[in-house]
Structure 1
Amino acid sequence: MSKTMHRALGASTLAVTSLLVAACGGGGNGGGDAAGADSEEVEVGPADVTIVNFAYEDPEFTTTAGSTVTWVNEGAAPHTVTGEGFDSSIIRSGRGWTHTFEEPGTYEYWCSNHESMTGTIVVE
């Protein structure tokens, strides 16, 4: 292989690697929410719902209006908590997310990355 061809191949490999790292790295903290100030990403603490092995543990429970629910991802894969009117964005391993349910009702949620992961919060 000629020196010029070897340099071109090396430059192409570097460019592709840089693009892959940038695409996988993300630019934010993995949190955020389209719903606004009543939701936030949190450091790991007590969880109402733990995410492990591609499942929400205790995915269905009842709480009262005004309560804040905390999900913590203890699995290796990134997950979301997505429902009508709320979305955690990506929750990375070892991170958590909270959402305050102000209104009574039944709130179904799911992981947008893994559609078999579902749960229900009943707010009284």
Structure 2
Amino acid sequence: MNNRWMLCFILVVLISGCTGENTDQGTDIGNQQQVVQIPTVAPTKGFSVPEPTTVYVEIKGTMFNPPEWKIVNGTTVKWTNMDSTSYIVNVDGVQSPLLNKRDSWKYTFNKTGIFEYKCSLHPKMPKGKIIVE
């Protein structure tokens, strides 16, 4: 008797697996070409941050990278010098100490606005921008 129930159970499982809906439309096995779409990303000048956190700016090749951040109030920006040249970051009337290679400096933005920053030692160096919303 047990064998009959086991056999019935197996048959029910097998039959239910065979009655599923067939969504395959069929394929032509001839010359097939697969088209793959590669997503593209539009270039941007900077990045955006939706909630307070710490964001990072590298100083390298007398450039700030990224040159622009869009952040929310309370976000900290950390500048790190990746060059052998020294820099002093000047933002919102505040200056960092002298940043030698691998040195970092943090500044927390606690008011909304657009803040340009620059290097006090290299006046021809392109400025960066922090947009605080």
Q: Structure 2 length normalisation: TM-score?
A: 0.56
Does structure 2 conserve the Cα–Cα contact (< 8 Å) formed by 1:47 and 1:72?
Answer: no
RCO (CA 8 Å, sep 6+): is it higher in 1 or 2? 1
Larger radius of gyration: 2
Structure ranking higher in helix proportion = 1
User: Does structure 1 residue 123 correspond to structure 2 residue 132?
Assistant: yes
Structure 1 unaligned segments of length 5 or more: list them.
Answer: 1-45
Match in the other structure for 1:109: 117
Counterparts of 2:68 and 2:86, CA distance in 1: 21
SS at match of 1:114: coil
Give the aligned CA root-mean-square deviation in angstroms: 1.5
- Higher share in strand: 1
Find runs of 4+ consecutive structure 1 residues off by over 6 angstroms: none
**Alignment correspondent of 1:62:** 70
Q: Does residue 88 in structure 1 map to residue 96 in structure 2? A: yes
Same amino acid, percent of matched pairs: 33
For residues 17-59 of structure 1, the C-alpha deviation after alignment (integer angstroms, 9 at most, x for no partner) is xxxxxxxxxxxxxxxxxxxxxxxxxxxxx86110001111111
